[in-house]
Structure 1
């Protein structure tokens, strides 16, 4: 006769004390109190970034050219279809890919070499590090102007001046004086961007080198491993995550680069990338719908790359915590 009562007691939910029940609302109020100061910043970020993007997205589906204000209306995906059928826009997309891949890969290789050098101890290492970081701290427009006038200028630029001096050393006055921005426009843009982004790659890879376990490296040296073996089997596998992170972050920024192309070549001679195409379509052709579609494509490409970059950062943080 007592079995049902025992079963009922066994399956009855535990009683919740009044103090425990009162602590839950207090914890919720405390959490909201900690988050409340962040709400103005969140609202500001939404107003400044998300609302303009929503407006751009809406305009990208419209037929809107300021030169013909009467012909305005909804056009669907026609602007996006034109992006992939217009030869000039396809050329801008190809130039963006080539420019980004070249700058990121060369900057990674140079940054890795500099990071390996800066990881060694030598007199004046702090001053050398500061000098190597300086190009990354220069404003992008100022960097492009520096390369355009101080280095590439055919009359008084440093490169042609150096060629004149080298030829004069060998007793010749016929030194080549090429106009670099006309003869090698893409190479000129890539060189200026590589100069600016190599320090960024060096900083990330140097941080990765300094997080390498020194006891493992010392044990490998005791066992007779050479520098190449240590780099191949210990350093490079350890730097793989940092190389991925540097490449992804560099890609996000270089894809959106506008300053170097606009300042050095004004988008001419096959150097126009997608950001410059957006500028040209908006300010020169006054086609707001087409320019908005181009801008949305640039944002989508940047978000895709940034997603992989965030995953790399998360994996690095998990490795550091474990």
Structure 2
């Protein structure tokens, strides 16, 4: 049992790391808040003074704001559904004994280590190109006209690209959870005559609830800031401009640091709202 002296020593040793972490987080946040109340135009006069709530009002009343929120939530929701659904299927498949099981697992996990920019370029040029892409050749083979993916179904295309990159992560977490399942439960259910679907629904899926919760929370945190895939493929056109991309346009393309900083504050608020919602819905599984 820890004594008062050992607890004090632990706090003292942790203090420098905690201090650095707080500074690392609070300084950028503080600067963002500061600039969000300033009219700061680096190439058009610099700091033009206090702007009050003008940047916040201009950002939220922009015609691009709510469509960017919609695109962000659609991409996040679509990727989560695809990665969790197919992640469970792949995890169950990889858990079965097969020839070259180790190599197969490495190949399945490999896309997660590809940089988002490279992944987007591969999908854009090798798969989704309407002239020379593999999907275009497949469409022509069946006598159909090729789909111009990035303009005809832009949001679905982005979801597909991002899902391909994040599916290995979900599969790895879910596979680890499946391997920790007590095989005696499944054997007992099989001996009792329970079909595969009921074994999955009443034994495997409840056991995966904690792992699914972890996948939801971690992926949501990263997916809310998705940028590279959109920058490389559509450039924010065709209704694929997310909140992060809108902030990028306001800061770098319009050179309005104050307006972009206000958008950054809105992004923080959105991330916290989504995180709180997820924690209330599925976070309780972490405590059970």
Q: 2:91 aligns with which of 115, 120, 123?
A: 115
Question: Structure 1 residue 136 and structure 2 residue 112: aligned?
Answer: yes
Over residues 81-101 of structure 1, what are the superposed CA-to-partner deviations in whole Å (9 max), with x where a residue is unaligned?
A: 333322211111111111111
Q: 2:263 aligns with which of 294, 298, 304?
A: 294
Give the Å deviation of 1:130: 0.8
User: Which structure 2 residues correspond to residues 1-322 of structure 1 after superposition, within 5 A?
Assistant: 28=5, 30-31=6-7, 33-34=9-10, 36=12, 38-66=14-42, 68-69=44-45, 72-164=48-140, 166-167=141-142, 176-306=145-275, 316=286, 319=288
Distance 2:203 2:131 in 1: 49
Q: Quick one: structure 1 residues 221 and 70, their matched pair in 2 at CA, closer, same or farther if it must change by over 3 Å? A: closer
Over residues 48-71 of structure 1, what are the superposed CA-to-partner deviations in whole Å (9 max), with x where a residue is unaligned?
A: 332011110121122333354377
Q: Quick one: structure 1 residues 39 and 307, their matched pair in 2 at CA, closer, same or farther if it must change by over 3 Å? A: farther
Could you tell me which runs of 5 or more consecutive residues in structure 1 were left unpaired when the two chains were aligned: 1-23, 168-173
Q: How many residues align?
A: 286
Give the Å deviation of 1:139: 0.9
Query: Over the residues paired in the alignment, what is the CA RMSD in angstroms?
Result: 2.6
Give the Å deviation of 1:315: 5.3
The answer to whether the 8 A contact 2:230-2:236 is kept is: yes
Distance 1:93 1:156 in 2: 33
The answer to whether the 8 A contact 2:213-2:283 is kept is: no
Could you tell me which runs of 5 or more consecutive residues in structure 2 were left unpaired when the two chains were aligned: none
Distance 1:152 1:254 in 2: 22
Task: From the CA coordinates, give the structure whose radius of gyration is larger.
Answer: 1
Give the Å deviation of 1:120: 1.7
Distance 1:270 1:136 in 2: 26
Q: Quick one: structure 1 residues 307 and 137, their matched pair in 2 at CA, closer, same or farther if it must change by over 3 Å? A: farther
TM-score, length-scaled by structure 2: 0.88
Moved more, 71-80 or 260-269: 71-80
Over residues 198-236 of structure 1, what are the superposed CA-to-partner deviations in whole Å (9 max), with x where a residue is unaligned?
A: 111111221221222222222111211111111111111
Distance 2:80 2:276 in 1: 17
Partner of 1:64, secondary structure, is: strand
Q: Quick one: structure 1 residues 35 and 308, their matched pair in 2 at CA, closer, same or farther if it must change by over 3 Å? A: farther
Distance 2:259 2:238 in 1: 22
Over residues 3-55 of structure 1, what are the superposed CA-to-partner deviations in whole Å (9 max), with x where a residue is unaligned?
A: xxxxxxxxxxxxxxxxxxxxx7xx53x55555555444434333333201111
Distance 1:140 1:133 in 2: 15
Give the Å deviation of 1:252: 1.2
